[in-house]
Chain A
């Protein structure tokens, strides 16, 4: 069964930075696009970013464009999200999700909590 395990969450001050990671296993990582989806406390799901299998295509939600950078290391089966200039409204559980054609998420990690607060 596909496994996705997020890490790197924690408490950070507004304006600070944090790097999330997602370790993938039990599938051919490079063959799939990968995504970050977040959920603020008590709120709905929000798509954050996607990256194609070869990193040739990356996409971001307007809410994070210019502040967050998605990347992947296919040799090590890992996905990352570098988050800079963090704001209180970035506080959320961040999920790593595998992308499948056409344009949906088929497997999800358990999430990692990011809290932005002074």
Chain B
């Protein structure tokens, strides 16, 4: 059973804005879970986008932003581009050294 939940798929129009979320099966996400976000295209290694809720990793464009929305962590892409079409994964730090990935969201740009 997936402890960390993500939308399985999402679509956005080119130039549009999309918000992907990352929740917990039970409980609310807070900054204490240090949510981070990763982008992965098929056949490639993941790329780090956001860490500690809302800090962009080096080289990541500012159209990617992270936040807490309600009881979930969120990744917002503003002005979506064709090459944003990827799988997006969140990770939560659960304490005691344990990290848990969400199931991932497949984002389509069309």
A102-B93 contact given A45-B46, A108-B46, CB 8 Å threshold: yes
- How many residues in A have their beta carbons less than 8 Å from beta carbons of B? 24
Is B48 a contact partner of A59 (Cβ separation < 8 A)? no
Measured as residues with beta carbon below 8 angstroms from the partner, the interface class of chain B is 20 to 34
The total of interchain contacts (Cβ-Cβ below 8 angstroms) comes to 63
Main secondary structure of the interface of B (DSSP, over half): strand
Q: Report if A105 contacts B (CB, 8 A).
A: yes
Digit string of A60-101 for contact with B (CB within 8 Å is 1, else 0)?
010000000000000000000000000000000001010010
CB contacts (< 8 Å) of B23 on chain A: these are: none
Is A59 a contact partner of B45 (Cβ separation < 8 A)? no
Q: Report if B96 contacts A (CB, 8 A).
A: yes
Q: Report if B40 contacts A (CB, 8 A).
A: yes
Residues of chain B at the chain A interface (Cβ within 8 Å): 34, 36, 38, 40, 45-48, 51-52, 57, 87, 89, 91, 93, 96-104
Q: For the complex of A and B, list the 10 residue pairs with the smallest distance between their C-beta atoms, beginning with the closest.
A: A59-B97, A103-B93, A104-B36, A104-B51, A44-B104, A108-B45, A47-B99, A103-B34, A45-B101, A102-B34
